[in-house]
Amino acid sequence: MSRLIRDLCGVVIDEHKGYLIEQRLTPIADEYNCKSFSELYHKLRYTHDENFEQKVIDAITTQETLFFRDTLPYEALQYKVLPELIDAREKQVIGKTRIRIWSAACSTGQEPYSIAMVICELIPDVHENWDVQILATDISDEAIKQASRGEYSEYEIGRGMKPEMLKKYFIKTPTGWKVRDELRSLIAFRKLNLLKPFVGVGPFDVIFCRNIAIYFEPDVRKDLFKRITEVLTPDGYLFVGSSESLIDIGPQFKPLYHCRTVFYQPNKFANTTDTLTTVAAAT
Ligand SMILES: C[S@@+](CC[C@H](N)C(=O)[O-])C[C@H]1O[C@@H](n2cnc3c(N)ncnc32)[C@H](O)[C@@H]1O
C-alpha cells in the first residue's frame, strides 16, 4: 500500500508507520466495501477511479501548516526578495509591473495568504497599479477547497496570525474568520500534483515549495527541483522549508542568506566546473 501511495502523490510512508495508513484509510475501505486492505489495494491499483484515488490522497496527505510559518522566510520576502524583484522588474516595463509567485504545496491556504499579506504591506496600491498574482496549488481537493474559501477557525488563526494583520485582512464570522475579498483576489487556487509535468504553469519570480519535498524519495525530489528551475525566472527566488536544504541537489541553485534564513536563486553557471567549486565553498 505504501508503494501505491508513493506512486499517487510521491509521499513515502515509513514501513513502521503502517498503523498510520490503516488509521487513515479504514473509513475509505468501509465506504468502498473493502473487507481487507489487500482488497482496497487491488481496487485502487486496477480500477483507476479518480474519485477513489482522490479520497485516498486527501486522507493520506498531511496538511500541517500555519500562517507565517517560521516567520523569517516572510521577513526575507518582505525586506529583501520583493524589493529586489520590484527594482529589477520596474526597470524592464512600461505600465504595470508584473510579479508572479507560486505556492507549490499550499495546503489549506495559510502560506499563500501570508505571502499576499506581505505583498499588500509592501505595495499598498497593489490592486490599482500592479500586476501581481499568486498561484496556489496542492494535490488535495479538500485542502484546495478550504484554501479557496479562505475561512479559518479561531484555532487556525491562533497559529501564526499577527493581530494587526487579522484586523486588516480578515472579517469576523460566527465560527471564525474569513479572508477579505481584496486579499483573496490576489490568489488563484488550483489542484496540481507536483509529480506531474508543469503544464501551463509559470514562469514565476518567486516559488515557495516548503515542507513537501522532504516526504519524497531522493530521485523524485531531485527531479522536482530540476523542473522547478525550468519555471523559475533566471533572477527568481525559491524558498524551501526551514529544515530542508538544496545542497545535495547539485549546482543548479545558489543559496542566499538574509534575515537568518536561506533561500535560493538559479545558478547561471551551473554547468561550469568553476561554479561547482564556488557553490561548494558558499555552502
Ligand atoms: C505539510 S503541508 C505543507 C504546506 C505548506 N507548504 C507549509 O509549508 O506550511 C504539505 C502539503 O503538500 C501536499 N502534497 C502532498 N503531495 C503532493 C503532491 N504530489 N503534489 C502537490 N502537493 C502535494 C499535501 O496535500 C499538503 O497540503
Which helix (H) or strand (E) segment holds residue 143: the answer is helix 141-149
C-beta of residue 113 within 8 angstroms of C-beta of residue 153 = no
| Ligand 1 nearest-atom number relative to CA 110 | 9
CATH of domain 72-273: 3.40.50.150
pLDDT score, position 277: 43
How far apart are alpha carbons 250 and 222 in whole angstroms?
9
* Helical segments of 104-217, H only: 110-122, 126-129, 141-149, 154-158, 163-169, 181-184
Amino acid at 149: R
The closest alpha carbon to 188, from 100, 282, 72, 270, belongs to 100
Which of 12, 54, 61 best tests ligand 1's pocket when mutated (most atoms within 8 Å of CB)?
61
pLDDT score, position 90: 83
Ligand 1 centroid distance, CA of 221 (Å): 13
Ligand 1 centroid distance, CA of 65 (Å): 9
Per-residue pLDDT for the chain (283 aa), expressed as one digit of tens each? Answer: 888 899 999 999 887 888 888 899 999 999 999 999 899 999 998 988 999 999 999 999 999 999 999 999 999 999 999 999 999 988 776 789 999 999 999 999 999 999 999 999 999 999 999 999 999 999 999 999 999 999 999 999 999 999 999 999 999 999 999 999 999 999 999 999 999 999 999 999 999 999 999 999 999 999 999 999 999 999 999 999 999 999 888 889 999 999 799 999 999 877 644 444 444 444 3
pLDDT score, position 280: 44
Ligand 1 centroid distance, CA of 170 (Å): 24
- List, chain by chain if needed, residues with CB within 6 Å of any ligand 1 atom: 9-11, 61-65, 69, 105, 107, 111, 138-140, 143, 193-195, 210-212, 241
CB contact set of 121 (below 8 Å; sequence gap of 6+): 78
Ligand 1 centroid distance, CA of 196 (Å): 14
Distances in Å between the alpha carbon of 257 and those of 14, 61, 149?
Answer: 33, 31, 35
pLDDT score, position 273: 47
pLDDT score, position 19: 87
Domain ranges of the chain: 2-60, 72-273
Which of 62, 107, 190 best tests ligand 1's pocket when mutated (most atoms within 8 Å of CB)?
107
For 137, other C-beta atoms within 10 Å of its C-beta total 22
